[in-house]
Structure 1
Amino acid sequence: MISADRKFHAYLDEMNIITILLPFSYHNGISSTFYMTTDAEKIPLQILTKIDIEHNHKYVCQFEGDILFGRQYWIIDEHGGKTDLQIGAVIRTDSFDEKFYYDGNDLGVTFHADQTRFKLWAPTATGVKLKLRPPAGQFSEIIKMRREARGVWSVSVNRDVEAYQYSFLVLVNQEWHEAVDPYVKAVSAGGENGVIVKLEKTYRPRPDLSPLDNPVDAIIYETHIRDFSIHKNSGIQNKGLYLGAGELNTKGKDGETTGLSYIKDLGVTHIEYLPFHDFAGVDELHPNKDYNWGYNPLHFNAPEGSYATDPTNPYSRIIELKKLIDQIHSIGLRVIMDVVYNHVFIRENSSFEKVVPGYYFRHNEIGLPSNGTGVGNDIASERRMVRKYIVDSVRYWIEEYHIDGFRFDLMGILDVETMIEVRKACDNIKKGTLIIGEGWSLNTPLSADQKATIVNQAKIPQIAQFNDKFRDIIKGSTFNLFDKGYALGNEHNLDAVMEVITGSIGLAKRGNRLFNEPSQSVNYVECHDNHTLWDKLLACFPNEDLGIRIRYHRLATGIVLLSQGIPFLHSGQEFFRTKHGEGNSYRSPDAINQLDWDRKSQFKDNVEYIKGLIKIRKAFPCFRMRTSEEIRTHLCPLSFTSSTLGCLFKMNHEEVILMINPSKNKQFTTLPSGEWSVLANHEHAGISSKVVLQGGENTMEPISLNVLLKK
């Protein structure tokens, strides 16, 4: 409890520095001496500075010797006033990090023979207790924990406590807080308590999938577990659930394939799911009442319960998520997990803040929590135990759930060293693990050279980043709905267009490069954020006929699939997904967010066209060159008139031409001599040709992408 006679405040801000605030209302805020006491020890404080600050005198004091963390200290002034020494900014010092870094792999719950061991890293706590509640019990058992080295608290329970709920009671700064274990792997409904589970009961063997040779061989398809199956005509039984997302051989009302089997047939390599670690925003007991994308993280190592058949059974969500991942692997596809390590839902309520207040989050120059994420808090990944937590979590998802890749939400909030450690951990467990992230530079108190941003891509070369330059040049500005990019008929800045479709590696001028290698560029024109491409087209071309909008959409998506780098598709993009004009649907109802499988039937021709482009990308290595040197060696820009762009690829004894005409007019082009099989034009795409062109002058249809193979 808080000291009842607290007249002033004292904070440990460095290992040997204490800041004391005496209000003017208390002896005019004046004291000539202070000392610190604990048990029978009395330590004098040397006043270094005294300044006025908001109705207080602020005293900065120094002492000799070491603070023993875990012990309660008191500060006494010359008037005999007494207050508890609170843990202040010391937790954000390098010396604190060095003193309390714990490199063990046993935080949380571990099992040893006939005992269950609980460990919690809480170096600033003066007391920690374990709270245990039997599965059907009304009353909890409270067990004192023992402080060990490096600020770890531990206790062992010598009996079977499977399915017990548990939490930790932590005393910091004279206040008790109840916290869910930060390392918790299973939770009760709503994530209110941790639950002890035996993961061996959920074991599934690791799949035998050979790693991709290079990230550019990936084709990513982003979706949301609920969106994917909730539509009335999805043909999926377990709508909105893990099990539904994993159903095979489902059919729509037209009798054609839907669901996971459809994704396999489309030809992509990776399914990326929006967050499925435990999040706030959906009532797990009434999951159809609310909707949320999942960017409100609660527990990073436990699956979300609203996608489980029984959210009250902690095994349900674990087993069903593993089954989903297993089903995806069984058909040769891979899983990318969207992870949100950059912030938590509500800082004050998070386990991090309750267990070690102030440590896990960044603070600005005046000591307030920073907000580069825009949601009220920024994770301080540069601190050693925060970095360890993120790396431990990534390692856990790979080892326990067999995840094949990670998409780091707002990766620019995190620091470069953390992402390097994540990359190393992934490589040590599973070669070929794909890591992609949003490298936006955000206003968080971390030096620019430390941020995991696009600007610092050379420091994290094995991590790919979403290429917003590609997005805005090809589609038009995401933040201006009516701005048109190259694929929507904007015929300006052709040099920039050529640059992004050739991997953003500085093809013409190396100094203009965004990335050193094409494998660092995730190319996209649509994702879960902002308006869908179809909705942007409806806004930009309200009076155009359907056919013109289809052509623009087909062109933009085709450029994504045939550019150098890693192509990224938003689910339903291949059948013109619409959110009915909603630009930010993070909690909009199913009617807005659902994947409308009827549109797949309606726009079957376009689905087949996209399938054809994917086949072309896979069949011809020239569309997925590994290095910038390869691109410079094997790609030759072609000179055309007006807005038309072209590239000639000479590779593996093959010659391939990619030509793009975004204008509404036919364009005359001159082809190199020889016979050219048309693999893709405005109507057809695939690895077989229906048309052959002769070298020399030819006509290119309006708003079209063309792939030609020399016979």
Structure 2
Amino acid sequence: MKLRQLLLIALMTLLATTAATGQPVVYTPRQSTFKLHTLPSAKAVVLRIYNQGTGGKAVKTVEMKRVGHKQGQLATYEATLKGDLKGKFYTLDVKYGQHFLGECPGPEAQAVGVNGQRGAVVDMRDTDPEGWAQDRGPDIAGKDLMIYELHHRDFSIARNINLDPAIHVKRQSSQYPGKYLALTEPWAINHLKQLGVNAVHLLPSFDFASIDESKPDVPQYNWGYDPLNYNVPEGSYSTNAADPVTRIREFKLMVQALHRAGIKVILDVVYNHMFSIEGNSFQKTMPDAIFRKLPDGSYSNGSGCGNETKSEGIFGDYMLRSVKYWVDEYHIDGFRFDLMGVHDIATMNKIRHELPSGIFIYGEGWSAGSCALPASKLGVKANLPKMPGIAAFSDEMRDALRGPFNDDHKGAFLAGIAGEEESIKAGIAGCIAHPQVDYSKVNYSKQPWALQPTQMIAYVSCHDDMCLVDRLRTELPGIAGDELERLDMLAQTAVFTSQGVPFMLSGEEMMRDKKGVHNSFNSPDSINQLDWNGKLLHPQVWNYYCQLLALRKAHPAFRLGEAELVRRHLEFLPTQDCVVAFCLKDHAGGDNWSNIYVVLNARNTPARVEVPQGWYTVVAAGGKIDAGGMGTFNGSAVEVAPQSALIMHQ
């Protein structure tokens, strides 16, 4: 009797999990149950079973049964097939009116064959690496995060390219260039740990449409912002895209390796649009139910990609199920929402509320065009006070440092152009209300939009637009190499001494460039790949980054995490043209340094800044950082070298 009770409890748990995640296939060796949600107007659903993930004829065809629906809600179809179907593939075909809309794996698919056209029957236990049940992400508060954005292929595809012979240094090669498994290799983990980042932001890693996974030996590149199957890892980053189990297991191995290194894993999710209106599983199973339309019946295009999803409808419920699935099945620690300004506030808040508090959520607080919903209801930056616990990127700080996003040739603070100092101060404060920040002089936002500094992502570059090196070369034609290095280090000093959550693009620590390409979403490897020679060719930059991140980690004054603490302890010094200076005073955050002074000088001449009379220990100057001290002085003014940062403390 006791055994029967345990089995009943286990079955009830399984059914509860299935209902919560929208599990499309429940597999056991004896039978498999398939489920699909459709619109109530659907006339029929046909399930087809295949031996292969692509090609060949169906070996079994079954008409699924409608198992009921509530008025106005989705209908549910179900079919149970006897026998062990592990390793088989399936499609679903839904009839509306007189026509079937075409085979697809269904929106909830959790395993697929090559190119994601057929779902796969797998036992998810087969995908778990050894020790997966014990895997947990590190416990790192949002205020303590230092985020490193990378694309799987960028990061490792050129790891095996020979070094410049003049350097005479050997390095570890990658056995898995361009793959998930590259991030399990010692060279990759060691690089991230030495740099000091504690969170990796992965560009879209769900199954996307633009890469032909059946041709792994043909160089293909895309950032992946063209969703196909939201709940399945992309196959082209796997060593065998044709095997549904391999891509899942290798993704989990990557997560596990990063977790063991003390690094959180953040997933870039693209729920704001589909790769096309036709051809995706949503349109084939519930036509026009997930896309917003304009009054004239045309599709709204707030994403700039030809369509925008309707998060305030059934798709919002899907988004919630999807992110919960990534947390539960893949142990994901955070999400970056692409064009979060397309999604409605209520849905974003529901996601925040129903995910564990340790899951870090942030996004782009804008859209790429006008949406069918009014801006007052959307997750744009100005509405962040209505979205507590969710962060957004600060384009104010970004463009104040490097220049406007819509003109690659126009510089700003880093180019020695005055006028952006107040915008940088807003970024230093975390875009909260601060008595010394005049928002009437801040670009883009004329009032604070963050309730807490942890709601602001501080950055100067990401995958979008030019990387920092290319941007500086474009706006400062003929810039010399040493000046380029100085400005690169100065920019990141602003980012990593900000009270916001700092974020950097992979490769910036090695002076990465993309040959001047502004939008490299489908450029070849020669444009996007990291040049690992850069780590050795620019040792001062690499060392500066490592010491800068270590300084932030060691000193809580740089990451107070609460607006009131920032207002109490962050004091700006009088502003000068192309000079921003501030003090973190009175042992801010319990710091063992009583007063920390930071001066950012973008001039090409020295800057003189007055400070209170006293003894100071310098820890950063002239493009070098030494937390143990680089010297002391007693005075009431300090001179800061051109195009550099000074950090000192009492």
Q: Secondary structure at the match of 1:166?
A: strand
Aligned to 1:254: none
Residue by residue over 1:317-359, the C-alpha shift from the partner in whole angstroms, topping out at 9 and shown as x without a partner, is 0111111111111111111111111111111101100101110
How far, CA to CA, are the matches of 1:380 and 1:241 in structure 2? Answer: 33
Aligned partner of 1:424 among 353, 365, 374: 353
Provide the secondary structure at the position in 1 that maps to 2:627: coil
Residue pairs, 1:540-579, within 5 angstroms: 540-579=475-514
Deviation (angstroms), 1:106: 4.2
SS at match of 1:348: coil
Alignment partner of 1:625 out of 560, 569, 587: 560
Amino acid at match of 1:673: Q
What residue identity is the alignment partner of 2:174? I
The letter of the residue matching 2:144 is: D
| Letter in structure 2 aligned against 1:133 | Y
Which residue does the alignment assign to 1:8? none
Where do residues 248-259 of structure 1 align in structure 2 (5 Å cutoff)? 248=186, 250=187, 259=188
For 1:241, the equivalent position in structure 2 comes to: 179
SS at match of 1:349: coil
Partner of 1:331: 261
How far, CA to CA, are the matches of 1:106 and 1:341 in structure 2? 17
Tell me the distance in 1 between the aligned counterparts of 2:353 and 2:238: 32
Distance 2:138 2:258 in 1: 14
Q: CA contact under 8 A between 2:421 and 2:577: conserved in structure 1?
A: no
Matched residue of 2:495: which SS?
A: helix
CA shift at 1:138, angstroms? 4.2
What are the superposed Cα offsets for residues 286-307 of structure 1, whole Å, 9 maximum, x if unpaired? Answer: 2333211111110000111111
CA distance 1:140–1:576, shift in 2 (3 Å): same
The aligned residue for residue 476 of structure 1 is: 403
Distance in 1, matches of 2:576 and 2:514, equals 37
Q: Deviations over 1:449-489 (max 9, x none)?
A: 21111111011111110111111112111221122121331
Are 1:593 and 2:523 counterparts?
no
Q: Give 1:192's aligned residue.
A: 117
Of 33, 37, 48, the residue aligned with 1:117 is 33
State the secondary structure of the residue aligned to 2:642. Answer: coil
The change in CA–CA distance for 1:129 and 1:138 in structure 2 (over 3 A counts) is closer
8 Å Cα contact 1:223/1:274 also seen in 2: yes
Deviation at 1:639? 2.2
**Offset, 1:159:** 1.6
RCO comparison, higher one (Cα < 8 Å, 6+): 2
Q: What does 1:435-584 correspond to in 2, within 5 Å? A: 435-441=361-367, 442-508=369-435, 512-584=447-519
Equivalent in 631, 636, 654 of residue 571 of structure 2: 636
Residue 515 of structure 1: how far off its partner (Å): 1.5
Partner of 1:220: 147
Cα pair distance change 1:526/1:673, threshold 3 Å: same
C-alpha displacement of 1:641: 4.7
Q: Which has the larger radius of gyration?
A: 1
Q: 2:8 maps to which residue?
A: none
Which residue in the other structure is 2:107 paired with?
Answer: 182
**Mean alpha-carbon deviation: is it higher for 552-561 or for 493-502?**
493-502
Equivalent position of 2:360 in the other structure: 434
> What secondary structure does 1:528 align onto?
coil
- Aligned counterpart, 2:632: 692
Local SS of the residue matching 1:185 = coil
Query: Which residue is 1:126 aligned to?
Result: 43
Give the Cα–Cα distance (whole angstroms) in 1 for the partners of residues 320 and 100 of structure 2. Answer: 29
When residues 317 and 103 of structure 1 are mapped into structure 2, their CA distance, relative to the original with a 3 A threshold, is: closer
Could you say which residue in structure 2 is the equivalent of 1:309? 239
Find 1:669's aligned residue among 601, 609, 618: 609
- 2:158 aligned with 1:268, yes or no? no
Are the counterparts in 2 of residues 107 and 120 from structure 1 also a CA contact under 8 Å? Answer: no
Distance 1:209 1:303 in 2: 19
Q: Aligned with 1:563: secondary structure?
A: coil
Tell me, in whole angstroms, the C-alpha distance in 2 between the residues paired with 1:447 and 1:668.
48
Q: RMSD over aligned Cα, in angstroms? A: 1.8
Count of residue pairs brought into register by the alignment: 595
Partner of 2:164: none
The one-character-per-residue Cα deviations of 1:406-442 (angstroms, maximum 9, x if unpaired) are 1111111111111112112221xxx411111011044
Q: 2:550 and 2:214 mapped to 1: Cα distance?
A: 43
1:105 Cα deviation after fit: 4.3
Deviation at 1:210, TM superposition (A): 4.4
CA contact (8 A) 2:27 2:122 kept: no
SS at match of 1:522: strand
Q: What is the rounded CA distance, in whole Å, between the counterparts of 2:577 and 2:48 in structure 1?
A: 72
Once the two structures are aligned, what percentage of the paired residues are identical?
34
Paired residue type of 1:568: F
Q: Once structures 1 and 2 are overlaid, which stretch shifts more, 170-179 or 602-611?
A: 170-179
Question: Where does structure 1 lack aligned partners over 5 or more consecutive residues?
Answer: 1-101, 251-258
- Output the CA distance in 2 between the equivalents of 1:345 and 1:276: 15
Q: Secondary structure at the match of 1:302?
A: strand
Q: Counterpart amino acid of 2:189? A: L
| CA–CA distance in structure 1, aligned partners of residues 27 and 174 of structure 2 | 39
Q: CA deviation at 1:584?
A: 0.6
- Per the TM alignment, residue 520 of structure 1 is displaced from its structure 2 partner at its CA by 0.6
TM-score by length of 2: 0.89
Structure that is richer in strand per residue: 1
1:170/1:179 contact within 8 Å kept: no
- CA distance in 2 between counterparts of 1:693 and 1:660 reads 19
Are 1:342 and 1:410, in contact at CA under 8 Å, matched by a contact in 2? yes
Query: Is the CA contact (8 Å cut-off) linking 1:340 and 1:408 kept in structure 2?
Result: yes
Q: Does 1:146 align with 2:71?
A: no
Find the counterpart in structure 2 of residue 680 from structure 1.
620
**CA distance 1:554–1:210, change in 2 (3 Å):** closer
* Unaligned segments of structure 2, at least 5 residues: 1-17, 70-74, 162-171, 440-445
- 1:209 offset after TM fit, Å? 4.1
For 1:627-670, what per-residue CA distance to the aligned partner results, in whole angstroms no more than 9, with x for missing partners? 11111101111126543221111223621111111101112222
Q: What is the CA distance between 1:545 and its match in structure 2? A: 1.8
Query: Would you identify which runs of 4 or more consecutive aligned residues in structure 1 move more than 4 Å?
Result: 102-107, 135-138
CA contact (8 A) 1:107 1:121 kept: no
Q: Kindly state the Cα deviation for residue 493 of structure 1 after the two structures are TM-superposed.
A: 3.8
